[in-house]
Amino acid sequence: MTNKSHPKGLYLLFVTEMWERFSYYGMRAIFVLFMVKALMMDKVAASEIYGTYTGLVYFAPLIGGYIADRYWGNRRSIMLGGLLMAIGQFMLFFSGSLHGSNVQLATVLMYGGLTGLIVGNGMFKPNISSMVGQLYPAGDKRVDSAFTMFYMGINAGSLLAPLICGTLGDTGNPADFKWGFMAAGLGMLFSLSVFTLLKDKYLLSPEGKPVGLPPVKHTESGHAVKHEPLTRVEMERLAVILIVSAFVIFFWSAFEQAGASLTFFADEQTNRNVMGTTIPASFFQSINPIAIVLFAPVFAWLWTKLGGRGMEPSSPTKMALGLLFLAIGYLVIAFGVDGIPPGAKVSMMWLVSLYMLHSFGELCLSPIGLSLVVKLSPARFTGLMMGIWFLSNAISNKFAGMLSELYPEPGKAAPHFFGYAINNLHDFFMLFVVMAGVASLILFLLSSRLQKMMHGLQ
């Protein structure tokens, strides 16, 4: 292997993650619509369940990363997690099959399916991300580009998911939601099968040794191996991870409106008619991954070009840019809906513009953050720190559900957020402009200090 090539294990992890993300985003594309249109829940209840579910999905990796670091290793954790997620999707399929005849049992099956997805994701998500870094020697400059490629796998899956699961499930007939869940379950089984069959052949360290095995607990003499105490440099680097993780809460809580309030907006107040055909609301969730796949190479080229001139922004600065793009996206759509009467439909270009700008923000923040966790974490803490990174996503997603509950509806009292009255869609979207914009400004101001705490790592 030359220094310019990537290990084959990266492509195995790419495909495994791609189909797992197909499973997750396929379910997410139709989940709130399933609750509202099939289980007949109101939007507030559906938003609360959505926020709790996605929050727990990203909280569970904290536990899964710890278990893998201490006991099971990455491989076993990924296989168990994949199996549990497949079971969860098929429970949602049976929930969709029974909604018309037994809503109570369908609801119980829905909660059972969500439990399988939460626990399974906790075992799967931090461990597959951690394994990317294990394929490379310490300090290898290919790690950033490896995570960019890995991130394209994530978005290839999330691109296909709403198109396939939305086409099958979001037909206007509540009885069809089950087929979207079935497709998501089959995608998860394919991910698990590919990983299981090829892991031993391709998941190897630069020295050719298997990676992701359970940790060695004892020396030959039988004494337990103790972890070395953290050095000051290691502690400061870990502090950077914790600080930027706090800021990404503001990013994801606004970004994840895609699966909740923005889906309601697409369904009810976006003109989705194209040449006599009505586009399913769930299809709009494919705009983001399309943009990621198209523009990830552009951003990778841009960082490389700036780096060659000594002008590449630090990782915290890139993440501040991500928050700025997010705020601008909401500013655009707030302008688009300003002054429109309740129930009126607007051009889909406003929603398309928002998703494009959010995608640019994601490219500045998410793959950079994953790479940062791997580079700054001591090897013995990588799984745990990846879990902490996803913990910020957990808080974000729960917060996203709470914010989605503020979505204004005609004929209902205006919701309030810390005294801020949300009388219409313009007020609702401006909330995210302020939240992301202030977070971006503060992170910009802190970036130089955080860069010093990274002690030479970008």
What's the rounded Cα separation, in Å, for the pair 79 and 128? 10
The confidence score (pLDDT) of residue 141 equals 67
Q: Are 100 and 174 in contact (CB under 8 A)?
A: yes
The confidence score (pLDDT) of residue 217 equals 61
* H or E element that contains 164: helix 143-169
When divided into structural domains, the chain yields a total of: 1
Assess if residue 214 is contained within a domain: no
Which CATH number do you get for residue 297? 1.20.1250.20
CB neighbours of 160 closer than 8 A, spacing ≥ 6? 22
Indicate the pTM of the whole model: 0.77
Q: How far are the Cα atoms of 70, 122, 136, 380, 384 from residue 215, in angstroms, in the given order?
A: 6, 19, 18, 9, 14
Query: How does DSSP assign 318-382, residue by residue?
Result: HHHHHHHHHHHHHHHHHHHHTTPPTT--EEHHHHHHHHHHHHHHHHHHHHHHHHHHHHHS-GGGH
Assess if residue 226 is contained within a domain: no
**Alpha-carbon dihedral angle through residues 262, 56, 152, 84, given to the nearest 10 degrees:** -120
Q: Are 283 and 326 in contact (CB under 8 A)?
A: no
Assess if residue 357 is contained within a domain: yes
The confidence score (pLDDT) of residue 323 equals 97
CB neighbours of 286 closer than 8 A, spacing ≥ 6? 158, 159, 161, 162, 163
The confidence score (pLDDT) of residue 113 equals 95
Residue 47's domain comprises: 8-207+231-453
What's the rounded Cα separation, in Å, for the pair 441 and 321? 9
Q: Beta strands 270-271 and 346-347: pairing type? A: parallel
Assess if residue 440 is contained within a domain: yes
Assess if residue 213 is contained within a domain: no
**Radius of gyration of the chain, Cα coordinates, nearest whole angstrom:** 22
Assess if residue 292 is contained within a domain: yes
pLDDT in tens, 274-287: 888 888 887 888 88
Assess if residue 219 is contained within a domain: no
Nearest to 371 by CA among 195, 155, 139, 191: 139
The confidence score (pLDDT) of residue 343 equals 77
CB neighbours of 262 closer than 8 A, spacing ≥ 6? 284, 351, 354
Assess if residue 222 is contained within a domain: no
What's the rounded Cα separation, in Å, for the pair 315 and 456? 12
Q: For residue 360, what are its two tokens? A: 């640019």
> Which residues, given as ranges, of the chain have pLDDT below 70?
1-4, 139, 141, 144, 216-225, 227, 458
Beta bridge partners of 416: 421
What's the rounded Cα separation, in Å, for the pair 11 and 15? 6
